[in-house]
């Protein structure tokens, strides 16, 4: 069975880019359209991982091949921020997760107690800001799974994540991280022999998932950002005044990927050398704040 384990819809809320947070959504994907596209692409199961939301459940929850998930915005003890994928949860668990998301230790303990599968998403991306060396120590201690292929991330970032997951014996997961429809289903995870949602999630938990698909690149990110901008102007015509800014999008996405490459280089090397942890400084977040 196969499933894209990282997909966003309109329920992900407003974007986090300064100045646009009041007028632009993280995603304009309709949950029904996402579901139908994933099924056409051969996904046996469908899940939605909106930011701190399971709003898509109201629309898709009755479908037998759908299971609810979410991408939790979580605060580390160091003060840094990470994204945590949580899979196969219910509404009660969602409420409890949101209450604990500013305390990673409490969150990890609750997820373990509930036997919910959870993963560290895009570990080598500056999307959520800076890293501290102690973050990596807690990644190793608390996370059973790492996202090893993300359809919006650079190939080198995904490669580093996969290497770290193998070294730490973490279960590999992958998803498209699609905020726009053209990227839906670009990455997925297979569990050979699984016959339903329960067996699929258990296979992931046991580390039997096989990640497939392609990494992100300048062209796909630029396309998705332009599509999100177009949808923003369609939904809110007053934002048409921002249309000339579309000319700057290629330069912004190019800068974003350059900064991401620097982030990967810095923290990829640091993660290989725990003995030098005390000498590793924090690194300010790379990336333009483009959704992922």
The beta strands (E) that lie in the chain are given as 2-3, 69-75, 81-87, 117-120, 145-150, 171-175, 187-190, 210-213
Residue with token string 């991408």: 71
CB-count exposure of residue 134 (10 Å: 0-12, 13-18, 19+): middle
In the prediction, which pLDDT does 281 show?
A: 39
Cα–Cα distance for residue pair 220/207, rounded to 1 Å = 29
**Angle of CA points 80, 83, 88, to nearest 5°:** 145
In the prediction, which pLDDT does 292 show?
A: 45
List the one residue out of 148, 250, 270, 253 whose CA is nearest residue 209. 148
Contact 137, 110 (CB under 8 A): no
Residue with token string 């289903």: 185
Residue stretches of the chain with pLDDT short of 70: 273-292
Cα–Cα distance for residue pair 237/241, rounded to 1 Å = 8
Q: Which runs of consecutive H residues, i.e. helices, occur in 186-248?
A: 197-205, 218-235
In the prediction, which pLDDT does 272 show?
A: 75
List the one residue out of 15, 2, 8 whose CA is nearest residue 232. 15
List the one residue out of 184, 186, 185, 181 whose CA is nearest residue 227. 181
In the prediction, which pLDDT does 287 show?
A: 40
Q: Which two tokens stand for residue 44?
A: 């046996």
Q: Is the dihedral of CA 77, 266, 289, 50 positive or negative?
A: negative
| Alpha-carbon distances, residue 285 vs 110, 156, 179, 263 (angstroms) | 28, 17, 20, 8
Q: Is the dihedral of CA 36, 42, 47, 50 positive or negative?
A: negative
Contact 65, 46 (CB under 8 A): yes
Provide DSSP, 122-140: -TT--TT--B-HHHHHHHH
- 3-class SS of residue 55: coil
Cα–Cα distance for residue pair 134/180, rounded to 1 Å = 34
List the one residue out of 128, 73, 119 whose CA is nearest residue 97. 73
Domains and CATH numbers, the chain: 2-279 (3.20.20.140)
């Amino acid at each position: 069975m196969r499933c894209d384990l990282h997909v966003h819809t309109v329920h992900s809320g407003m974007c986090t880019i300064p100045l646009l947070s009041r007028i632009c959504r993280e995603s304009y994907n309709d949950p029904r359209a996402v579901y139908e596209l994933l099924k056409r692409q051969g996904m046996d199961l469908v899940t939605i991982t909106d930011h701190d939301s399971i709003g898509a459940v109201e629309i898709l929850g009755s479908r037998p091949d759908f299971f609810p998930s979410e991408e939790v915005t979580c605060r580390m003890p160091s003060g840094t921020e990470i994204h945590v994928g949580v899979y196969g949860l219910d509404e009660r668990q969602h409420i409890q997760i949101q209450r604990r998301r500013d305390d990673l230790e409490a969150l990890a303990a609750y997820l373990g107690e509930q036997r919910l599968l959870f993963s560290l998403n895009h570990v080598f991306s500056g999307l959520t800001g800076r890293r501290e060396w102690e973050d990596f120590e807690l990644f190793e201690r608390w996370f059973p799974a790492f996202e090893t292929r993300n359809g919006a991330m650079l190939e080198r970032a995904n490669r580093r994540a996969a290497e770290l997951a193998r070294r730490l014996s973490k279960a590999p997961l992958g998803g498209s991280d699609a905020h726009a429809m053209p990227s839906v289903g670009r990455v997925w995870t297979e569990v050979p022999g699984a016959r339903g949602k329960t067996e699929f999630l258990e296979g992931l938990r046991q580390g039997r998932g096989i990640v497939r698909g392609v990494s992100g690149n300048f062209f796909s990110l630029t396309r998705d950002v332009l599509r999100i901008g177009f949808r923003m102007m369609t939904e809110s015509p007053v934002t048409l005044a921002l249309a000339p800014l579309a000319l700057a999008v290629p330069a912004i996405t190019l800068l974003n990927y350059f900064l991401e490459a620097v982030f990967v280089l810095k923290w990829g090397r640091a993660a290989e050398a725990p003995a030098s942890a005390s000498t590793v400084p924090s690194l300010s977040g790379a990336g333009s704040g483009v959704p992922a």
